[in-house]
Structure 1
Amino acid sequence: MTGQPGHNAIVRSKRLPLLLLLVCAAALAGCSSRGIDLRLGLGDEKERAVAGDSVPTIPYQVKLTGVDPQEKDLLAALEETSTSLRLRDRPPPTLAGLNRRAEDDIERFAAVLRSFGFYDGRVASALRNTPAGNGETGWAEAATTPSDKGRDTMPQPVTLEFLIETGPPYRLARADLLLTGPDGTTASHPLDNKELQKVGLSSGMRAEADPIIQAGRRLVDRFHHDDYPLAKAGNRTVIADSAAKTLSVTYGVVTGREARFGAVTVSGAEKVDADFIAGYRTWPEGGQFSPAEIAATRRELAKSKLFDAASVDLGGPVNDQGEIPITMQVSESAHRTVGGGIEYSTADGIGGNGFWEHRNLFGSAERLRLRLAASQLQQGAEAGFSKPRFFQRRQSLVVDGQGKQYNTAAYEGQLADSFVGVERRFAQYWTATAGLTAEYSSLTGADSPNEDFYLGGMRASIRRDSTSNPLDPTSGSRLEMTVSPLTSLGGASTRFISAGVNGSSYLPFDRAGHYVVAGRARLAGVWGEERSALPAHKRYYSGGGGSVRGYEYQKIGPLDENHDPIGGRSVVETGLELRARVSEHIGVVPFVEGGNVFDDSQPSSLDLRWAAGLGLRYYTAIGPLRLDFALPLDKREGSDDDFQIYLSIGQAF
């Protein structure tokens, strides 16, 4: 009997945890039935996860009122920054959660209004029931939890309306510049209208944040260009006059020390001579520092095609001599290239070419290019050599030559020529070339005897090229003017001057360059001899894939009784095409071209032979593949085919 009470105690102790669990469960159930929120302050997004997917959410729409519809940029900025709009597809389970989103948007909207110059702007929000079918509306019930009617009853949709009062925009009254010199002294300088325009501001303009901030950056850039490489922005002070609705801005600029260019250090050079790389700098030794010269030097390094990457940076602070060191960091690319291509036309047949190029032959960017080409019309070899920085930084020695065998409708035979000259770049897009040339030809044509010509003379040209891409230009233009006086050195006697101008222009309709109008024109003539005294290849011809598509190669112009071209002493050509890139890789190009060759040294008329066609382009990483179909609009019976087809790489011009 004595052990019985102890046994009962043990039993009770085992039942105690179970009783506690039952009590807690009942309490929790009771709390839940009374609507007590046990979610411990979790946000709207976490509320749904705790309560389960079956908890109803409150669908809502957002409405912005009070903003002038003409303020499209402001409306777009408000919508872009809105949290309630961004999370509209994830509605909260409570009106309290929706109110929190509204409060967040009120702060965001106020900041946007200020950035657009509305410093007195006010924003308020209101929750309303979304109008039902009867058109009635009212204030949304200020509930903080889902409805007590049960989970089967869905909450009514509401409208979150933002009431925005922009007020009048503030205007820029004035802008001052506060300079802090190297010694710490300060000086204030008001910016006049001309100086304001240089940094993108104007007196009386709306005081929007973005142009005001950008103006500060431009001011610092101006000091960089004015020999202060270490200039940086100081404090910017903005004072608003609520009565006058104006804003005044003071820009602080810490100039740092004035500097000149110092020593240049090159790193990363392997096969290219380091001193040669340093010579790409565009500034004179000891010249005043300018970021524009730094940028120009980067462009020069990129144009050399010697490097995969090249940077030009400040190498340290201004030293005691007032000089700032410069560091050039390069990563050399492969200097040898092997390539080739093929082309086809119904008149010329199939042709192909291959080349080998070395762009650093002796360690100082000397370029040697060897090329072989063969088609049904001509076969031969070409060689070209150039040595940059020939006595002057932007000047190159140029040597080229070729030997070819021709078998065209105009002439047959051999030709060899050579050229030695100097090429000099000036301004941004201009290049001039001048030098001596010598050639030998033995050609037989329809209107020329089989005579050997040994010619010598001069060749000069001026060229401007601002195009965006050599194989597929979408903007810019090209212009080339040439003149070449030649005289006999032996063989048949002749003396003449040929000159011409050739140009093209490219006008894009969109920033991406997917729609471009391209046009070209050519005018050339030869003076000093009659046509019969000119070597066959020094006469002018027109027609074919490189001039007027739709006609056979060299077939436009005077013909003999066998319909073979005899050439002329002047030529006129023109062309226009619309390049429409309809997808990433496909383009469509309708075009029209015209041209003619004349007996006289000057065109006797503008009576041209026209052709029209349609081209397809397949765009690749190296350039577009070109397929053109062209019809002669002034077809001559017995001389011209019904159509021509061309297949090549790159645009027609």
Structure 2
Amino acid sequence: MFEVDIKHLFKSLLLFLLFSLLWGQEEFTVHKIYFDGNQSFSSSLLKKQLTIEPKTLSQRLFFWKDAITYTDGHVDQDLRHIRKFYQKEGFLFAEVQAEKIPRRKAGDINLHFIITENKPVLTDNILYNIQARSEGEKEVIDSLIQERKGSFDLLPGQRFRDESVENMRRELFKILLDHGYPEPDITYTLFLKNEKRQVDVHLTITPGRIYHLGDIRISGNEHIKPFVIQKQVTLEQGDIFSQSALEKNQQLVQQLGLFEYVSIKNLVREKNEDTGTLPVEIFVQELPQWSFKTGAGYGLDERIRFSATIRRQPFFGKARYAVLTLKYSYLEPYHINLKITQPAFLTSRSTLFLNPFARREREKAYNLERFGVSVTFQQGLSSFSNTFVNYTIERNQLDLSEDITDAFLLTNTYYNKSKISWGISTDRSSPLFYPDKGFFASFVTTFSGLPGSQYHYVSALTEFKKFQYITEGLIIAGRIKIGSMKPVMNDESAPIEERFFAGGSNSVRGFLRNELSPKNENDISVGGNSYFEASLEFRHQLLNILSGVLFVDIGNVWIDYNSHNFKDLAWSPGVGIRIRTPIGPIRFDVAYPLNQPDGKVRYHLSFGQAF
């Protein structure tokens, strides 16, 4: 006789069935994924909800390598993911099915998802239960909500979405945080009416007590005096607490350029309920007093290039800092640039720059040595825009090529330039180095001819860039630049180094550097006074760090200041590859000039986007 442990036998049988089920599941690879019935959402968006991925291009090319395999369990999991996605988007009664379509190769399938969306649930009533400390506070908070509710994601009659409720809750939090309530509490309850496919949203808002700013403390600073930070902030003791005000002041302190890290936060644990005050801490982490950076690179135009940067703060002042930059390349045998920056010069958003410089430029038409100094006053208009006024005076030594004999050129060997510029720009593109949305626009005008200047001209240059996300991995980028320059005060021409040139890795890429411009009798580019460029790029990600680009550039330069003749535009299509790095792409482009007699293919190797 022997005894049977029924509990142990049951566990063993259950484990056996589970392993048998898993072992018996057929494995397969997925070639393509299709969706049908998805009227409200794109297939690319639905694919993001899946764990199953079709074969990549590299897996198809290297077919001898093993691809990722899946089972029916993965399909069932993704069915749940798609249903959950639809439910979050308000389609509570959506139906999703999956169909495996075998291909010729054994174990290789196309996966077909069939979706019946059915009618979504709509938002009906949105009710607010404000539990304020007094009727007066309740009325104030209600009026704030009524002012903003038109901008909420969740509105009566619209499709109900989980994300819309959370966005609305965050907006209500922001309203309270910006009007003196540092500890609000907001909850909501949903009441679903199945027969009408509608939902009511009931929000309970407990604002807590209103607080004013107490002590404003500064910590973390070692060499920067507290008054430098105090001068920059607009917070004052007794102000009504506002989270947006803290964030705005954090940006203002960061704009000083003296700190690696800035944080302004309320010390809610130290609040004084008797006086209704809340202390605030401004914490900063200073940049090093001394820093040194070096760099090296290679481009087909610049060839080997080196750079070194030395930074010092503070520099003969409490909030002033200086950056010394040394550069070498074939185009600039030396470039010495000292930039002294005085942040918060007149206002919290204004900056003064003092910039002595010395550099040598090497071009096919000339060699030029420039020694001078510039002073720039820059005023921030917003987080995205700024304007500036710049004055520059410099002493130039020009050495023209032996092939330059054109009367269009001034041949002074030594001369001075004294000029003033004004400009405005806005940059709403992002992210840095690899923008996929937003735009950039700028305009700069210059007058040369102030006392001490031997050359007199007026110039203007405007540029516009736009970046647009199209679909996963595909970005369209476009640029337009147009400029004009006119000699004035009886001058016949402007200095050659100030004229417009086109062609090169960052210009019309079917031409070499400065090749696209008016030429003299010896076929040397001498620049012009009218300028136009436009570019269009299709940027598509191929692998993790590798992208491909299709582009077309057009442009030209004309002698006269008002000679923008668009019938003369040079067209240059091309292709390129980009290797992604943390500080911008390594770029290789191949372009062909369509309407040029020589028809030579041009190659460009450089760093950074073309625009």
Tell whether the structures are fold-level matches, with TM greater than 0.5.
yes
SS of aligned partner of 2:592 = strand
The alpha-carbon distance between structure 1 residues 517 and 496, as it changes in their structure 2 partners (threshold 3 A), is closer
1:570 to 515, 527, 530: 530
SS of aligned partner of 1:378 = coil
Letter in 1 for 2:172: L
Corresponding position of 2:596? 635
**CA contact under 8 A between 2:585 and 2:608: conserved in structure 1?**
yes
Deviation at 1:275, TM superposition (A): 4.1
The alpha-carbon distance between structure 1 residues 645 and 349, as it changes in their structure 2 partners (threshold 3 A), is farther
Q: Note the alpha carbon deviations across 1:208-235, whole angstroms, 9 max, x for none.
A: 655445433432322223333332225x
The alpha-carbon distance between structure 1 residues 619 and 118, as it changes in their structure 2 partners (threshold 3 A), is closer
Corresponding position of 2:248? 296
Letter in 1 for 2:124: A
**CA contact under 8 A between 1:531 and 1:599: conserved in structure 2?**
no
Alignment of 1:500-519 (within 5 A): 500-510=461-471, 515-519=475-479
**CA contact under 8 A between 1:193 and 1:203: conserved in structure 2?**
no
Corresponding position of 1:372? 326
Range with greater deviation from structure 2 (515-524 or 613-622): 515-524
The alpha-carbon distance between structure 1 residues 283 and 578, as it changes in their structure 2 partners (threshold 3 A), is farther
Deviation at 1:393, TM superposition (A): 0.7
Corresponding position of 2:156? 203
Corresponding position of 1:233? 186
Corresponding position of 1:645? 603
Range with greater deviation from structure 2 (520-529 or 576-585): 520-529
1:483 aligns with 2:445: yes
The alpha-carbon distance between structure 1 residues 412 and 113, as it changes in their structure 2 partners (threshold 3 A), is closer
The alpha-carbon distance between structure 1 residues 475 and 533, as it changes in their structure 2 partners (threshold 3 A), is same
CA distance in 1, matches of 2:144, 2:435: 42
Q: Note the alpha carbon deviations across 1:48-102, whole angstroms, 9 max, x for none.
A: 35x79999999899xxxxxx977999xx9xx99xxxxx99869xxxxxxxxxxxx
**CA contact under 8 A between 2:577 and 2:589: conserved in structure 1?**
yes
Corresponding position of 2:554? 594
Letter in 1 for 2:373: S
Q: Note the alpha carbon deviations across 1:323-375, whole angstroms, 9 max, x for none.
A: 43222334445462412232322xx4624131313163348553422223333
**CA contact under 8 A between 1:542 and 1:596: conserved in structure 2?**
yes
Deviation at 1:648, TM superposition (A): 2.3
Corresponding position of 2:342? 387
Corresponding position of 2:514? 554
2:436 to 474, 485, 488: 474
CA distance in 2, matches of 1:553, 1:577: 20
Letter in 2 for 1:388: P
Corresponding position of 2:14? 48
CA distance in 2, matches of 1:647, 1:258: 60
Unaligned runs of 5+ in 1: 1-25, 62-67, 81-85, 91-107, 124-165
1:256 aligns with 2:225: no
**CA contact under 8 A between 1:498 and 1:524: conserved in structure 2?**
yes
Letter in 1 for 2:392: T
1:360 to 309, 313, 321: 313
Deviation at 1:194, TM superposition (A): 7.7
**CA contact under 8 A between 1:410 and 1:554: conserved in structure 2?**
no
The alpha-carbon distance between structure 1 residues 650 and 580, as it changes in their structure 2 partners (threshold 3 A), is same
Deviation at 1:574, TM superposition (A): 1.8
**CA contact under 8 A between 2:376 and 2:390: conserved in structure 1?**
yes
2:391 to 429, 436, 451: 436
Corresponding position of 2:361? 406
CA distance in 1, matches of 2:515, 2:489: 22
Letter in 2 for 1:599: I
Corresponding position of 1:176? 127
1:497 aligns with 2:458: yes
**CA contact under 8 A between 2:252 and 2:348: conserved in structure 1?**
no
Q: Note the alpha carbon deviations across 1:486-531, whole angstroms, 9 max, x for none.
A: 2164584x432222212322222246x6534343423232342677
**CA contact under 8 A between 2:192 and 2:199: conserved in structure 1?**
yes
**CA contact under 8 A between 1:306 and 1:365: conserved in structure 2?**
yes
SS of aligned partner of 1:505 = strand
Corresponding position of 1:423? 378
The alpha-carbon distance between structure 1 residues 172 and 588, as it changes in their structure 2 partners (threshold 3 A), is closer
Deviation at 1:300, TM superposition (A): 4.8
The alpha-carbon distance between structure 1 residues 601 and 209, as it changes in their structure 2 partners (threshold 3 A), is closer
Q: Note the alpha carbon deviations across 1:78-134, whole angstroms, 9 max, x for none.
A: x99xxxxx99869xxxxxxxxxxxxxxxxx9x9999978799x9x9xxxxxxxxxxx
Give the total of aligned pairs.
541
The alpha-carbon distance between structure 1 residues 315 and 47, as it changes in their structure 2 partners (threshold 3 A), is farther
**CA contact under 8 A between 2:131 and 2:206: conserved in structure 1?**
yes
Corresponding position of 2:53? none
RMSD across aligned C-alpha pairs, in angstroms?
4.6
Deviation at 1:390, TM superposition (A): 0.9
SS of aligned partner of 2:168 = helix
SS of aligned partner of 2:180 = coil
Alignment of 1:515-526 (within 5 A): 515-526=475-486
Letter in 2 for 1:651: Q
CA distance in 2, matches of 1:278, 1:247: 50
CA distance in 1, matches of 2:602, 2:349: 43
Letter in 1 for 2:265: D
SS of aligned partner of 1:595 = strand
Q: Note the alpha carbon deviations across 1:162-210, whole angstroms, 9 max, x for none.
A: xxxx999765432222222235999596999986543322224456655
Deviation at 1:577, TM superposition (A): 1.9
TM-score (norm: length of structure 2): 0.74
SS of aligned partner of 2:210 = coil
1:621 aligns with 2:582: yes
SS of aligned partner of 2:177 = helix
Corresponding position of 2:283? 329
Deviation at 1:419, TM superposition (A): 0.9
Q: Note the alpha carbon deviations across 1:300-332, whole angstroms, 9 max, x for none.
A: 556666555443221132665554322233444
CA distance in 1, matches of 2:499, 2:585: 32
SS of aligned partner of 2:550 = strand
CA distance in 1, matches of 2:22, 2:459: 84
TM-score (norm: length of structure 1): 0.70
Letter in 2 for 1:384: K
